[in-house]
Amino acid sequence: MAEYRINDLAEASGVSVRNIRVYQDRGLLPSPTIRGRTGWYSDEHLVRLNLISRMLERGYTFATISELLHAAHYGMRVEQVLRGAPRGGRFRNFKRAATITITELRKTLNATDRSIALSQKLGLLVKDGAHYAIRNPELLEGAETLVKAGIDIDLLLDRWVRVQDDLEDVAKSFVSIITDKYFDENLPDLGEEQVSKMAELIQTVRPMAHDIVESTFRKALDQQISAAIGEASTYFDATAPSSDEGSDAGVDAGVREPTADGAQAPRDVGDRVD
């Protein structure tokens, strides 16, 4: 994957260095990877810049572009953005990421040096001076809830790494639907029209792949949740008292039988009457 310094990125994209920094400040463009004192940008930044430029040319405002880009990141469709999400919902905040200190991370998430480093590697946290920028505040809120319930944050992050590796294979398998057809010995001889067609087909696969993965995962997750609840129910059913035991328990608890005049009297003289 190609890497660019900011001047190289400006030249490749046709966007000025000043505007690149503006887009970052507006939350439209992710921050570069910092190595030493140099910020390095990737092909993903170049693609994002080209998209922003095309949207600006079509008259979209910064606010609208930000909403649409964030919505795309979370798998939302345009109609969902236009319909609007309820205030306080999962997608309520399309503003620039919030920040948190390392002290707050350790306090709220019991974060260790390992978990903080892993969160950076996964892109959840980005070092921002003495603070960390939070790319996904909703995810952090969910993680805090798990930690309060006694779940180790490292366990969640390790699962994330595992899923990320698995999904890279899944993504490759979907893209290969197109590349297996076009990436052969004739690839160097493909004309511009065929390359454009190939790129268009890959973009067609993208939303289909997302819907397939999302619906399949939702179904699998529902099945696992049902299985877990079923297992817990079986345990409680096995330890619950039988109907006969329930009747005896009722007597011990002071169940009354009506007397001739309708009053409630103890069934057994030995029953305790409170």
Q: Is residue 41 part of a domain?
A: yes
Report for 59-63, 82-86, 140-144: range of highest mean pLDDT: 140-144
Q: Model-level pTM? A: 0.48
Taking all residues of the chain, what is their mean pLDDT, rounded to a whole number? 76
Q: Is residue 30 part of a domain?
A: yes
Q: Is residue 44 part of a domain?
A: yes
Q: Is residue 133 part of a domain?
A: no
- For residue 8, the SS3 value is helix
pLDDT tens, 13-53? 999 998 898 888 877 888 888 888 888 999 889 988 988 88
* Mean pLDDT of the 116-144 span: 83
pLDDT given at position 205: 85
Q: How many domains does the chain have?
A: 1
The CATH number given to whatever domain includes residue 68 is 1.10.1660.10
Alpha helices, DSSP H only, in the chain?
6-13, 17-25, 43-57, 62-73, 78-83, 102-109, 113-122, 137-148, 153-182, 192-239, 243-252
pLDDT given at position 238: 63
